[in-house]
Amino acid sequence: MKRCTRCSSTALLAALCMTVPMSGHAQAQPSTLTIDAGAARAKSSPTLYGLMTEEINYSYDGGLYGELLRNRTFRSSWSGVEHWTLSQQGDARASMTPDQATGPSAALPTSVKLSVASVSPGAGNAAGIANEGYWGIAVRPHTTYQASFYAKAAKPGSTVTVALVSDDTGKAVAEQTVPGVGSDWQKYSTTLQTGELVTSERYHFVLSVAEPGTYWFGLASLFPPTYKGRVGGNRIDLMEKLAAMHPTFLRMPGGNYLEGDHIAERFDWKKTIGPMVDRPTHQGPWSYRSSDGMGLLEFLEWCEDLGIQPVLAVYGGYSLQQEHVEPGAALAPYVQDALDEIEYVTGAATTRWGAERAKDGHPKPFTVHYVEVGNEDNFDKSGSYDKRYAQFYDAIKAQYPLLSIIATTAVKGHAMDVVDDHYYKTAQEFFDDVHHYDKTDRDGTKIFVGEWATREGLPTPNFGAALGDAAWMTGMERNSDVIVLSSYAPLFTNINPGGLQWDTDLIGYDAMRSYGSPSYYAQVLFAQHHGDEILQSAFADGAEPLRVFQSVTRDSRSGTLYLKLVNANTTAQSVHLDLHGAKQVGTTGHMYMLSAPSTAATNTITEPTRIVPAEHDVQGLGASFELVLSPLSINVLEVPSSR
Ligand code: AHR
């Protein structure tokens, strides 16, 4: 019999002692899960778990991308220059207007004009423009912020003050003066250093002057410290959360974001590289404009920072409002764009586009194995995808024969290396579909489950969704010989009002804080404990317990078995495990468990760790043992073994 290390109870109670509420009851007759630990059934894909994101729910701007200023390019609408306000301190009198006639570059031809009618010399008198950030600007003590702006002044030699100001006190908590602003557009950079202060997002950014005159500002920027200190890089807390997911790839840049509503609004990668001042920004399909700070190279550097590979999605000639490019001559320039893009990413610095990447600061090529042509082309009512895919496929393979080309929907009349399947379901629908790939032809087209999620919970999934996700993941793991890649979507949401366009997103955040949903922790557990071999595991025919799901993988080097067992019932479930074929099975294992009192239970920005994995040793394991799964629980049991 097994003994729990914490309470010394017997093995049957090992899991119960940790989590089972008093009301939980094990069923009378345990079901037997038979595991063949002799020969592995198949190799599991080493890239099964990855990431998928796009610019949705303020995922990059106002999310992962570290920039703190909102509308840093001073775009204006009927309501004025959005997210910027006039700041008049003391006796200053000024006005602020969009100026369509001048801007810092051809890509950014407009700016904001600050006209200061009067301001007396003396402390406290200043006129300027203030940015509110993305639902505030997070400011922390003893922190260095990198600030920059483009400016020109009617009177050369002007001084601009750059400051971080508290919303509550109106006082600057960090300030620098930038003298010598000339009459031609130029970039000015400085650092803002904070001291002791109240950590919060209740701060704003101000560019101000203390002399009457006319001033223009364009492309301003404010960055906090970033992950791995990358200049213009990513938010640290969010990158740490991604790293903990043990991803192996990033599908980028979308999603619908790749396609755009219209062809002209696609992710036009050539307009997203090089200095920020040369990036025109573009309208995304999720109701807001992208700064394109997260451009092609930034996506790749994000991969580099996590040590993962990009799965590069190239625009395939279809945009969401039923616009498509005819295959043939009309599509040729788009195919060339994709070839150029692959060269920018993977080419030596001596190639035309590799040289461009080197000029952008990254001489070393990136390694790519997968290129996806388009996104969800099953929605293209023109039926043009078969031919569009074929044209891309043939051109890419001619130059890059080793690349695997992913189709976004099944294609007729042409080879496909991989096909991308998407699933957005309820937990029950996933429970019902866990055997989806069990009968798939092992020699057919490989599968990329490029988007999947249980859509229950708002803004982030609740525990019921985590159960649906975990059940689905057991099915993907059992079939990870044909499923070569998988990625949950969407990954991120800014939880502020107006921040979300799509319900149920894995990780939530505001300007200051972030949290992982129960589904996030389910993925962390599954990806962290995943072997390279799939073992045959099954409940006896007709004896599969309702709402209990399983998969078993093994690490071929250490022999460790990873048993994933999901109990979506509100009662405890006993499972008898029969392990055949192992030379030796250790007696002590380690259990990781995620559980909650109800399916509605969840994590929130204010209670971020209500549902997180717990772990404990389980003793008394062997070739045959019994486990009690807590009600509503996702369990990963590590069992040492040798063959
Ligand atoms: O993940 C949200 C959207 O769902 C993606 O942009 C799209 O590919 C899918 O329809």
Per-residue pLDDT tens over the stretch 273-294 = 999 999 999 999 999 999 999 9
pLDDT at 9 over 70: no
What are the pLDDT digits (tens) for 531-557?
A: 999 999 999 877 899 999 999 999 999
Residue 489 Cβ inside 6 Å of ligand 1? The answer reads yes
- Residue 425 CA to ligand 1 center (angstroms) comes to 13
Q: Which of 20-29, 166-175, 220-229, 463-472 has the lowest mean pLDDT?
A: 20-29
Q: Which of 409, 425, 502 to mutate to test the pocket of ligand 1 (most atoms within 8 A of CB)?
A: 502
Residue 504 Cβ inside 6 Å of ligand 1? The answer reads no
pLDDT at 12 over 60: no
Neighbours of 539 (CB within 10 A): 16
Output the pLDDT for position 94.
98
Alpha helix positions (H), 236-369: 236-244, 256-259, 296-306, 332-346, 352-359
Please state, rounded to an integer, the average pLDDT across all residues of the chain: 95
Say if residues 390 and 335 touch (Cβ distance below 8 Å). no
Output the pLDDT for position 373.
98
Q: Which of 55, 256, 311, 377 to mutate to test the pocket of ligand 1 (most atoms within 8 A of CB)?
A: 256
Say if residues 33 and 577 touch (Cβ distance below 8 Å). yes
Q: Which of 76-80, 157-161, 320-324, 398-402 has the lowest mean pLDDT?
A: 76-80
Output the pLDDT for position 29.
76
DSSP state at residue 466? H
499 conformational bin, left if phi > 0, alpha if psi -120 to 50, beta if neither: alpha
Output the pLDDT for position 30.
86
**Helices and strands in the chain: count of H runs, count of E runs:** 10, 40
Cα distances (angstroms) measured from residue 403 to each of 269, 314, 372, 510: 20, 13, 10, 38
- Report the pLDDT averaged over residues 14-30: 43
Q: Which CATH code fits 3-43+530-642?
A: 2.60.40.1180
Residue 253 Cβ inside 6 Å of ligand 1? The answer reads no
- Residue 252, CB-side half-sphere exposure with 13 Å CA sphere: 24
CATH architecture of 76-223: Sandwich (2.60)
Beta bridge partners of 540: none
16 falls in which pLDDT band (50, 70, 90)? very low
- Report the pLDDT averaged over residues 36-41: 95
Residue 59 Cβ inside 6 Å of ligand 1? The answer reads no
Ligand 1 atom showing the smallest separation from residue 376 Cα: 8
- Residue 68 CA to ligand 1 center (angstroms) comes to 26
Ligand 1 atom showing the smallest separation from residue 54 Cα: 6
Ligand 1 atom showing the smallest separation from residue 422 Cα: 9
What is the pTM assigned to this prediction? Answer: 0.95
Output the pLDDT for position 371.
98
What are the pLDDT digits (tens) for 209-265?
A: 999 999 999 999 999 999 999 999 999 999 999 999 999 999 999 999 999 999 999
Output the pLDDT for position 87.
98
- Residue 454 CA to ligand 1 center (angstroms) comes to 13
Residue 456 Cβ inside 6 Å of ligand 1? The answer reads no
Residue 254 Cβ inside 6 Å of ligand 1? The answer reads yes
- Residue 256 CA to ligand 1 center (angstroms) comes to 6
Output the pLDDT for position 28.
57
Distance (Å, rounded) from C-alpha 104 to C-alpha 150? 7
Per-position b or e across 466-478, b if 16+ CB within 10 A of its CB: bbbbbbbbbbbbb
Ligand 1 atom showing the smallest separation from residue 257 Cα: 6
Residue 390 Cβ inside 6 Å of ligand 1? The answer reads no
What are the pLDDT digits (tens) for 618-629?
A: 999 999 999 999
What are the pLDDT digits (tens) for 363-396?
A: 999 999 999 999 999 999 999 999 999 999 999 9
> 635 Cβ partners below 8 Å, 6+ apart?
15, 563, 564, 565, 566, 567, 591, 592, 593, 627, 629
Distance (Å, rounded) from C-alpha 563 to C-alpha 526? 10
Q: Where are the domains of the chain?
A: 3-43+530-642, 76-223
Give the closest residue (by CA) to ligand 1 atom 7: 255
Closest CA to 609 of 596, 592, 624: 596
Query: Please, is 298 exposed, middle or buried when counting C-beta atoms within 10 Å of its C-beta (0-12, 13-18, 19+)?
Result: buried
Strand boundaries in 194-319, DSSP class E: 203-209, 213-223, 249-252, 282-283, 289-290, 309-314, 318-319
Residue 613 Cβ inside 6 Å of ligand 1? The answer reads no
Output the pLDDT for position 52.
98
